[in-house]
Chain A
Amino acid sequence: MTKQEALYKYLLQLGDNALIQSHRLSEWCSKGPILEEDLALTNIALDYIGRAQNLLQYAGEVEGKGRTSDDLAYRRPEHQYYNNLIAEMPKGDFAYTIAKQLFISTFEFLLYTELCTSKDETLAAIAGKAIKEIRYHWTHSRDWCYRLGKGTAFSNDKLQQAINDLWMYTGEQFEMSDEEDMLCTEGVAYDNKALQSKWQEMVSNVLTASNIITPVSGYMQTGGRKGIHTENLGHILSEMQYLQRAYPDATW
């Protein structure tokens, strides 16, 4: 494996997480519980799609085969997607989406803060742009945890249920692949494992302040980073890639 191959794979992984997360959030469009939330969730989806575009475009440049961000988004099958499983989990109810957002945005806040000083200048520049937006995503999920957790017994129960159900998908975020180990020694990527204790602390602080019990970690689901996904991803791609599958090379 060359450094170029490792970087390509790493960029796909970062880009796929953003793309799939964006797609899931966009499913809230016109279905938000209140108008302001409809706007908030779709605005966050917009930040994610922008980030995915930048990362996949750069991945295409690093690969050097002339593939664009659209080629990478619309023409790869499930097993060539490397997002974490948590990103592809269904949007669920509002509490479920908020729990997902808390877990993901806390991780991204920690990771992208580190990537701002990556030795790869393009990645550092994309991270420098993304981190400003991730802060909004994080405070959004934190504030909703407070409101749901300290709202009614019903909203507290919904959030607790969502936190419990998703917990087994949080461990995958801290895995390291061979590519990442290699990039890490080069100062390009960052050691995900080193983020885990800080993540645990930030998440439990929010949950405790929301009167929610932090689950005890047990078995953790894995596979997404190796291209082994839940059935959810296939359904997402069949919708997202429909046009390019039905009408290859279609343009407006």
Chain B
Amino acid sequence: MLDREEILALLSEIKDPEIPVVTIEEMGMLRDVLISEKGCEVLLTPTYTGCPAMGIIEQDILSTLQEAGIENAKVTMVFAPAWTTDWMSESTKEKLIQFGIAAPVHSSCVNWLSPKNVEVSCPKCHSKNTKLVSQFGSTACKALYTCNDCQEPFDYFKCH
């Protein structure tokens, strides 16, 4: 059987089904792998509580492990510590921008009472002259913005 590091490396290849340029490891969802005589337990943390991608990710994890010959596997959801976009690395954020999604700013920069004051750059023209259209976008984790300079409507990955 594969050891913990090998399993983590294997699972780190799984892409986020809604943002296929980043992996679940880069998103900070893949927390750990525990190996015991009963089998392999994967600790996963949800981004948003109702995120419908979680079910797909769970299936992807189980089928990846099955292909590697690991039958006794299960996925356990852990809630604490609560997922935060601060776990994304700079290179992950860069991948989001290349994909057309503005990357989250650090949570310490955001006053949640006035989200309109967050400085969000357009992923196309990099202008900071952008406008919040709605705090709720195409998925639970994104907000809708428009660039006032190039007129591009775009998604912003909300700081969470």
Residues of chain A at the chain B interface (Cβ within 8 Å): 36-37, 39-40, 43-51, 53-54, 121-122, 124-126, 128-130, 132-133, 135-136, 139-140
Contacts and interface: CB of A to CB of B under 8 A. Distances in A.
B43 to A, nearest CB: 13
Contacts of A124: 80
B123 to A, nearest CB: 19
Nearest to B114: A139
A81 to B, nearest CB: 20
A218 B140 CA distance: 38
Main secondary structure of the interface of A (DSSP, over half): helix
Q: How large is the interface on B (under 10, 10 to 19, 20 to 34, 35 or more residues)?
A: 20 to 34
A98 to B, nearest CB: 14
Interface of B: 46, 48-52, 78-83, 112-113, 115, 133-138, 140, 144, 158, 160
B50 A128 contact: no
B50 to A, nearest CB: 3
Contact of A51 (B49, B78, B113, B115): B49
A50 B136 CA distance: 16
Contact of B136 (A128, A132, A140): A140
Contact of B50 (A46, A122, A126): A46
A40 B50 contact: no
Contacts of B80: 121, 124-125, 128-129
A125 B43 CA distance: 15
Contact of B82 (A39, A45, A125): A125
Given A36-B136, A139-B112, A133 B49 contact: yes
B140 A40 contact: no
Contact of B51 (A36, A48, A50): A50
- In the A-B complex, the 4 residue pairs with the smallest Cβ-Cβ separation, listed nearest first, are A50-B50, A50-B49, A125-B80, A46-B50
